Amino acid sequence: MQQHDCSPLSDFIEYPENEMLSRSKNFYDLVKRRHSIRSFSDRAVDKQVIENCLKAAGTAPSGANHQPWHFVAISSSDIKKQIREQAEFHERGFYEGRAGEEWLAALKDLGTDADKPYLEHAPWLIAIFSQKKGGITEADKNTNYYVHESVGIATGILITALHNAGLATLTHTPKPMSFLNKVCQRGDNERAYMLLIAGYPANDATIPAHAQVKKDLADIANFL
Ligand code: IYR
């Protein structure tokens, strides 16, 4: 390996094998209770919880460790209202034709439509941006690598962290999403990647049957 500055791996924890087995099972039991919901309570969620989950997301591996992401956590009613208005405007165009027949057919069993009341009801919206240029510090303007992969992994950790904290989420990708740059005051170097809705589920929250069909292990993996 090339000469480079480094320190010993000191915080790795090795578990006894039986504990490893139970931990892996417990984690599966935890994450299989994560469901995307579309009906949120307006009950407030402490900002510190969101901060901790964002810190967890920020530990994600990334190309050359450039951490090519930015999260805008929104609790302001005014900004949520603007996002709802613009998302619904674009979604109406999507559902009224832009999506095309095949895409609309794929969404039928989820029951989604252009109405996005949760964008105002939920206590937190987290707009996730990817950065084309960057580096190990915020001031850098170097090329970023594997941006989609990196931001995808960070988003996955964020969703899991929020679920682990006891919150429900919804991944939302209004199409197009570029209005988020303006509303969130993010520059040209950033591209809106996803909008995450986070909060407590409303009492009437449901899970579409379609979303509960998960492929078997044998269908998603094989061992060589
Ligand atoms: N962005 C739209 C449409 C939509 C697309 C997919 I793919 C989904 O899995 C769910 C919805 C919307 O949020 O309604």
Based on the structure, what is the number of domains in the chain?
A: 1
Which token pair is 120? Answer: 């105002």
By alpha-carbon position, which residue is closest to atom 13 of ligand 1?
172
- At 154-179, the pLDDT tens digits run 999 999 999 999 999 999 999 899 99
Question: Which of 86, 173, 180 to mutate to test ligand 1, by most ligand atoms within 8 A of the CB atom?
Answer: 173
Which token pair is 176? Answer: 């197009």
Q: Would residue 214 count as lying in a domain?
A: no
Predicted pLDDT at 93: 94
Contact between 165 and 45 (Cβ < 8 Å):
no
Distance 174 CA to ligand 1 centre (A): 7
Q: Would residue 87 count as lying in a domain?
A: yes
Q: Would residue 127 count as lying in a domain?
A: yes
> Quick one: which atom of ligand 1 is closest to the CA of 110?
10
> Quick one: which atom of ligand 1 is closest to the CA of 173?
1
Predicted pLDDT at 77: 98
Predicted pLDDT at 175: 87
Contact between 36 and 169 (Cβ < 8 Å):
yes
- At 89-139, the pLDDT tens digits run 999 999 999 999 999 999 999 999 999 999 999 999 999 999 999 999 989
pTM of the model: 0.97
Q: What is the maximum span of the chain, computed from C-alpha positions, in angstroms?
A: 58
Q: Would residue 18 count as lying in a domain?
A: no
Taking CA atoms, 207 is separated from 35, 61, 162, in Å, by: 7, 31, 18
Q: Would residue 11 count as lying in a domain?
A: no
Q: Would residue 209 count as lying in a domain?
A: no
Taking CA atoms, 103 is separated from 107, 108, 148, 207, in Å, by: 6, 9, 22, 20
Q: What is the CATH number of the domain that holds 118?
A: 3.40.109.10
Helix (H) or strand (E) holding 182: helix 179-183
Domain housing 178:
36-202
By alpha-carbon position, which residue is closest to atom 7 of ligand 1?
107
Q: Would residue 217 count as lying in a domain?
A: no
Which residues, 6+ apart, have CB-to-CB distance to 175 below 8 Å? 90, 91, 94, 98
Helix (H) or strand (E) holding 69: strand 69-74
Alpha helices in 15-169 (DSSP H): 17-31, 47-57, 77-93, 101-107, 118-121, 147-165
Distance 156 CA to ligand 1 centre (A): 17
Q: Would residue 59 count as lying in a domain?
A: yes
Question: Which of 172, 177, 180 to mutate to test ligand 1, by most ligand atoms within 8 A of the CB atom?
Answer: 172
Predicted pLDDT at 20: 98
- Confidence class of residue 82 from pLDDT cuts 50, 70 and 90? very high
Predicted pLDDT at 1: 85
**Secondary structure in 3-state letters for 132-176:** CEECCCCCCCEECCCHHHHHHHHHHHHHHHHHHHCCEEEEECCCC
